[in-house]
Amino acid sequence: MIRIAIQSKGRLSEESLALMREAGIVIDEQKRKFLARSANFPVEVLYLRDDDIPAVVADGSADLGIVGYNEVAETGADVEIVRKMGFGSCRISLAIPKAQEYNGPSFFEGKSIATSYPNILSKWLAENKVNAEIRKIMGSVEIAPAAGIADAIFDIVSSGGTLVSNGLKEVETLLWSEAVLVAGHNLSDEKKAILDTMLFRIDAIKESRGMKYILMNIPSDKIEEAVKILPAMRSPTVMPLAAEGWCSLHSVVLESELWDKIERLKGIGAEGILVLTLDKVIG
């Protein structure tokens, strides 16, 4: 049995549980209680506030955790980062009222900064030899300057919309973050084996994200050119069509390259192009 700590309610909860589900690990989400055992896999889920996850993994109360890298960096918890999860991307930045001119880190000398991340911030201030007062507040950090609580903020940014609507501008990014899978350092052999099984599945899911399955009809004498456009995992699958001189070509393609490749394939005579969602890629 392995125990994984997941955020109970918040931005990472749904995607963390979705990942478990896609990995074939059934957890009864209707009864989301403090601790839930999977019905079909030797894993139990511990639902926590995200702030508590790094410490609980570091002290062995949980074996694994899914948490924002920002929380790992802030707590300095002694955990191993096993995988980047590819969701929950954000950055943590310093922001100031937009009317003020920014002239570099010395701007913050003698100022007060509201944040939920005092450790990351104080390290940066020390590195830049800036003396500023850190005001730790746990929520609604972005309203601090307008409310007269602080001169600036250090907070999570994703689109930047929240900053703009609070009359702030981003001036320094101190940390880039995404959700990470963390593990304790002293897992038993049994737990390591369970983790390996989970990683095999997680990697297959991650691999499939951003990939598409593509199939098309193509004149047989164009196959060599098509293979150059679509290198595939080993090489594309080619099947003869009933119509003489035509083949069906199947491959996988990175979503980011999809349209470019489709245009090139059409250019050499591909027809009836179908693009399908991929569920898992097992290399």
- Per CB under 6 A, residues contacting ligand ATP are 7, 10-12, 49-51, 68, 70-71, 88-90, 156, 158, 177
Cβ contacts of 129 within 8 Å, gap of 6 or more: none
What is the CB neighbour count within 10 angstroms for residue 47?
17
CB of 5 to ligand ATP, least distance (A): 11
Query: With CB cut-offs between 5 and 8 Å by kind, which of ligand ATP, Mg ion, none does residue 7 bind?
Result: ligand ATP
Name which of 89 and 197 has its Cβ closer to ligand ATP. Answer: 89
Q: Does 8 bind Mg ion (CB under 5 A)?
A: no
CB of 107 to ligand ATP, least distance (A): 24
| Residue whose C-beta lies closest to Mg ion | 51
| Residue whose C-beta lies closest to ligand ATP | 68
CB of 233 to ligand ATP, least distance (A): 31
Query: With CB cut-offs between 5 and 8 Å by kind, which of ligand ATP, Mg ion, none does residue 93 bind?
Result: none
Q: Which secondary structure element, helix H or strand E, spans residue 58, and what is its range?
A: helix 53-58
- Laid out side by side, the sheet with 246-254 consists of 237-240, 246-254, 211-219, 271-277
Q: Does 155 bind Mg ion (CB under 5 A)?
A: no
Distance between CA atoms of residues 216 and 219, nearest Å? 10
Query: With CB cut-offs between 5 and 8 Å by kind, which of ligand ATP, Mg ion, none does residue 70 bind?
Result: ligand ATP
Name which of 56 and 230 has its Cβ closer to Mg ion. Answer: 56
Name which of 12 and 132 has its Cβ closer to Mg ion. Answer: 12
CB of 10 to ligand ATP, least distance (A): 2
CB of 90 to ligand ATP, least distance (A): 4
Which 11-70 residues touch Mg ion, going by CB under 5 A?
50-51
Listing DSSP states for 101-160 in one string gives: ---SGGGGTT-EEEES-HHHHHHHHHHTT---EEEE-SS-GGGTTTTTS-SEEEEEESSS
Q: Where are the beta strands (DSSP E) in 127-262?
A: 133-136, 152-157, 168-177, 179-183, 211-219, 237-240, 246-254
Amino acid symbol at 43: V
Name which of 5 and 27 has its Cβ closer to ligand ATP. Answer: 5
Chain-centre distance for alpha carbon 267:
36
Name which of 50 and 63 has its Cβ closer to Mg ion. Answer: 50
Residue among 210, 281, 201 nearest 22 (CA): 201
- Residues at the interface with Mg ion (CB under 5 A): 50-51
